[in-house]
Structure 1
């Protein structure tokens, strides 16, 4: 067999993808993060598509373009080793969905190179986040899904997918050209085939049999090929070989895997699935390059290390709970695996997570204990090594491809984004030299060996506490208390009630109180999570764990008989609520669950730490009937209402008919008259415009429709109209993407768009809240708000504004919290009130700060150093 070339770094290497005539660029005075743990302060020279030199001062005469970045951070381009961009394009259309074959559980012979859409708008958006190299693989419906293809996200004039490939123009004699395969196990193949009536596999038993059956067939084909070759070597080929070389295209890629020419990536979550695949690898003599997702891997590091070769775990930092396989995930997983000596990569599964924000995944992993250098390596050098291309991408080193990022702040800081992205030495966003040479957004203190870690502290629960050395207390939209040089702030809580707040709190007898020193940290009102199914669903793909989905309504007549109230289906004590509570998300506003249909039902506001709906002592139910919810748009058309125009007509009839209804009011009447908000989930500017017209009609007929737009990806285009009518917007998600055909005009943030939709709405004085759709991500709401604050132009959105997006603005929009009248309902920071707040040991918008204390949330207790699972 011919010896394969080795892929080793070479300082004299030529980049075969280099574009002739590309100007050489010298970046001066940067802080260079090399992707493998090194930090160098100095210059970096890119020439002929490679990094020619970096480190000490470089002569300016070496480059065509010289840019002084004045201490900005420079890093290698990000490598995403699990993406479906290009085969699951934006906007989502049936005609461009090519991520799974779905006709057979065994399709190792299909290839993404044959389906990648080079014009997918996602590519530019992803590149704007610093991702330069991507492995595009088939989905996880099949056990053997097929071959992937690695591309760089630099557009090519030919629109050739092959020209975008990492190995374009590579001499096969000088570099080893790898192939990449995708397999999957566990729930997805079972659901796609056996549970859908398409035959095997219906169980993990069937999965294992199909794996072994096809590995066996490939092994036999390989053996017959080897026999043929050995025979040919022994005999005179021309006279003795009277048979053709044994081939079968169905098994060609599997044979290549068995020969060591393919890097195998396996979608696998649970412990038994991971172990089964390792067992198969020993039986049939193949290597596993990486387990993807693998949210259970942290539970079995010893089993992972039994494998034939070193396996990389390509996982999520904080995406969990959506199915049983993902339910037992831990935020500590990357740290635990790294400490066990197992390589950890972070990937997007784009569009499951928008790959544009892969650096944020690294920041989250670092927040939960992965070291700063390991977190950066997890999106650069580790995935490059797993893909077999770490001799040319994934780090800053002489001879490597000039895939280089210049950041506005440290890449692990909240809201960080690249000011410029170089791929093969070519700038992708043509950022002006003045911006690259401008001031750095913020200074950054590197972590040191004594950095506070989530494993350093022990969670404890108390009833009385003295919180001292507070830097800021965000009392509410009217007031912020700040410490001064002459005195810091203190809050005293006794038996769950605030006894003192301010700079003059002194207690002579501190027996029975725990003392917490915030060291200048912040105290915020309890965060509010609006818009998800928190409290109604625990595992998205397990109906037995849910309240259930609302049925379609064929008629708006007699609405009092059919409108569902979320309060009747609430379940407390689940993992999602517990994780939200420990992050300081203390109030939840959840509408009923609805997949299709225009009418959703009536939402409830409740405390995340509550025990039951009748637990009045702890005031668990903030408001049983908050708002009437509906949804408008193409995703919600069903057999009852088959058009978007029909959805609007349904709402018009329901609201107008009930506006003048005599007798006891129903929820349509309450909404039409303005007694409760009318919250409509939609993203399209055209659908929002139709809803504004509907409000005008109802108001013109004597009503007072308190319309709330929920979702609102394109709402910024109608900001002046919304402001004129005092229509608030609860944006979900905070960072939208152009996934809907009817809502493609989204702002994805810098460097593509200078402003976000939230910033434009805020400029027009539209009342804005930030909601959440994925209940597992409710604990990240403070970061969602901080992201907007950090990246607003000229500080247009202040800390106070951003905190309002996730607290008092939502109280005003939905009429909850201190906007609810009645016994004990006036929360807030006042003496005698039930404590209901979250304290951080720094700014909540600094990802090195942690939740230090949570008070209230439906519990007459304080939890100190809460542990997030």
Structure 2
């Protein structure tokens, strides 16, 4: 009883500290206003994320859409009527897209009152994350400062945790920030193996899971019910079955979280057998064991950060550093994601930089955090690369955006809206460097 009271008191203290910090900390910068006049950025190096690099380029946009991408000297481009911004010596990139994230629905993991990522029950396909997205999250300024301008926000927990939403990192409310309300249903495929630690031998014992078949059968019954439900003309309200209909129509993707090669193969076969149109896999090194299967079935893969060490004795030291390259060379569409503390999501661009340092072409590495996640989430018609007709969602960096030493943003735009990059961290840096800084 005393322990329970102690935990309750500690929780209250954490909540009070959380709200105190909100009241005393700098707010997230004011949301940007819609683009008022046509703008052209001239003289920079444009990395289109399609593999093309344009030196001494020009990128023009009006009404939030890109109207020209090419050489500044191209006689076909008329800069009259555009407000010019000189970016000579700098680099232009499409806004980076962080998939499989809790940004916007979790603030402090240890403070339940500051997150909205869980729901009761294990089957929640109708749970949509955009309703809970907090545009005032303190994580947003730090992500924007490294070029991350969009996130796929997903619910957590259960077998089917919910339907993810793609959100732009700017706006007064979720209504202004939402880019795609329903992007993917996230399915955590049952584990076929169970692990237990033997303290006497200090080893991990692995054996087949006794519940695997039963849990797969439960999923089969659910999807069969959804298929039957979709054929009814006057169907009764059933939010769970209704939420799965987009999988069969191709309006949503099914993102399957699977850890082992067996689970990857069986989950994909299951989904295809049920008529799911778009399938993606969230996995790690196990993807290499079934790479031919993934290629033949045209299955894209989202993998964890390259900031990872080998977790098995027989793995190479650079197993995770080289994984994006090894999968891409086999023809797999690969995207990177973040895992761990939300505050370190800001390192997302540099995961691609590590892939480039371990043999991947730099422009191909850029696709890992831009065009490829856009393709997987079904939003590549609007974002993910710098092409005429797409949203003017991009940023300008003084140097290589994938290099932690060179990434230094000077401009950022989301649908043509000029984003304020400086946040609380920059304000504190200026405050204390002005007081305690030393001239060199």
TM-score normalised by structure 1 residue count: 0.41
> 1:412: which partner in 2?
402
Task: Pick closer, same or farther for the CA change 1:183–1:321 going to 2, 3 Å.
Answer: farther
Task: Work out the CA distance in 2 between the residues paired with 1:45 and 1:204.
Answer: 57
Task: Pick closer, same or farther for the CA change 1:179–1:360 going to 2, 3 Å.
Answer: closer
> 1:150: which partner in 2?
166
Task: Work out the CA distance in 2 between the residues paired with 1:399 and 1:316.
Answer: 31
Task: Work out the CA distance in 1 between the residues paired with 2:159 and 2:275.
Answer: 18
The 5 A counterparts of 1:617-656 are none
Task: Work out the CA distance in 2 between the residues paired with 1:253 and 1:327.
Answer: 42
Task: Work out the CA distance in 1 between the residues paired with 2:68 and 2:243.
Answer: 39
> 1:421: which partner in 2?
412
1:613-647 Cα offsets, whole Å, 9 max, x none, are: xxxxxxxxxxxxxxxxxxxxxxxxxxxxxxxxxxx
Tell me the SS of whatever aligns to 1:411.
Answer: coil
Task: Pick closer, same or farther for the CA change 1:327–1:219 going to 2, 3 Å.
Answer: farther
Task: Work out the CA distance in 2 between the residues paired with 1:293 and 1:763.
Answer: 46
RCO comparison, higher one (Cα < 8 Å, 6+): 2
Task: Work out the CA distance in 1 between the residues paired with 2:220 and 2:316.
Answer: 31
Alpha-carbon offset, residue 203 of structure 1: 7.3
1:228-251 Cα offsets, whole Å, 9 max, x none, are: 44xxxxxxxxxxxxxx42442222
TM-score normalised by structure 2 residue count: 0.78
Alignment match of 2:184 (pick from 164, 180, 185): 180
> 1:555: which partner in 2?
none
Does structure 2 retain, via aligned residues, the 8 Å contact 1:80–1:383?
yes
Matched, 1:111 2:136: no
Does structure 2 retain, via aligned residues, the 8 Å contact 1:129–1:355?
no
> 2:221: which partner in 1?
216
Task: Pick closer, same or farther for the CA change 1:107–1:128 going to 2, 3 Å.
Answer: same
> 1:30: which partner in 2?
44
The 5 A counterparts of 1:470-481 are none
Does structure 1 retain, via aligned residues, the 8 Å contact 2:105–2:129?
yes
Alpha-carbon offset, residue 391 of structure 1: 0.8
Alpha-carbon offset, residue 379 of structure 1: 0.7
> 1:601: which partner in 2?
none
Task: Work out the CA distance in 1 between the residues paired with 2:306 and 2:377.
Answer: 20
> 1:62: which partner in 2?
81
> 2:16: which partner in 1?
none
> 2:12: which partner in 1?
none
Task: Work out the CA distance in 2 between the residues paired with 1:278 and 1:418.
Answer: 40
Task: Work out the CA distance in 2 between the residues paired with 1:377 and 1:322.
Answer: 26
The 5 A counterparts of 1:45-444 are 45-57=60-72, 58-64=77-83, 66-90=84-108, 92-101=110-119, 103-139=120-156, 141-156=157-172, 159=173, 161-167=174-180, 179-185=183-189, 204-226=209-231, 228-229=232-233, 244-287=234-277, 289-307=279-297, 309-320=298-309, 330-349=320-339, 351-352=341-342, 354-415=344-405, 416-429=407-420
Q: What is the aligned residue count?
A: 390
Alpha-carbon offset, residue 331 of structure 1: 2.5
Q: CA RMSD in A?
A: 3.4
Does structure 2 retain, via aligned residues, the 8 Å contact 1:32–1:39?
yes
Does structure 1 retain, via aligned residues, the 8 Å contact 2:104–2:135?
yes
Does structure 1 retain, via aligned residues, the 8 Å contact 2:109–2:115?
no
Alpha-carbon offset, residue 114 of structure 1: 2.9
The 5 A counterparts of 1:657-672 are none
Does structure 2 retain, via aligned residues, the 8 Å contact 1:747–1:755?
no
Tell me the SS of whatever aligns to 2:144.
Answer: helix
Task: Work out the CA distance in 1 between the residues paired with 2:118 and 2:240.
Answer: 17
Alignment match of 1:43 (pick from 45, 52, 58): 58
Does structure 2 retain, via aligned residues, the 8 Å contact 1:85–1:122?
yes
Name whichever structure is richer in helix by fraction. 2
Alpha-carbon offset, residue 31 of structure 1: 0.4
Tell me the SS of whatever aligns to 1:410.
Answer: coil
Tell me the SS of whatever aligns to 1:332.
Answer: helix
1:318-375 Cα offsets, whole Å, 9 max, x none, are: 2356799x99953221111011000111122474572222111110111122221111
Task: Work out the CA distance in 1 between the residues paired with 2:135 and 2:103.
Answer: 9
Alpha-carbon offset, residue 165 of structure 1: 0.7
Task: Work out the CA distance in 2 between the residues paired with 1:350 and 1:27.
Answer: 36
Tell me the SS of whatever aligns to 1:406.
Answer: strand
Task: Work out the CA distance in 1 between the residues paired with 2:270 and 2:436.
Answer: 56
Does structure 2 retain, via aligned residues, the 8 Å contact 1:290–1:314?
no
Task: Work out the CA distance in 2 between the residues paired with 1:205 and 1:116.
Answer: 38
Alpha-carbon offset, residue 79 of structure 1: 1.0
Uncovered stretches (5+) of structure 2, i.e. residues with no partner: 1-31, 196-206
Uncovered stretches (5+) of structure 1, i.e. residues with no partner: 1-17, 168-176, 192-201, 230-243, 432-745, 765-793, 797-869
Alpha-carbon offset, residue 120 of structure 1: 1.1
The 5 A counterparts of 1:522-537 are none
Does structure 2 retain, via aligned residues, the 8 Å contact 1:86–1:117?
yes
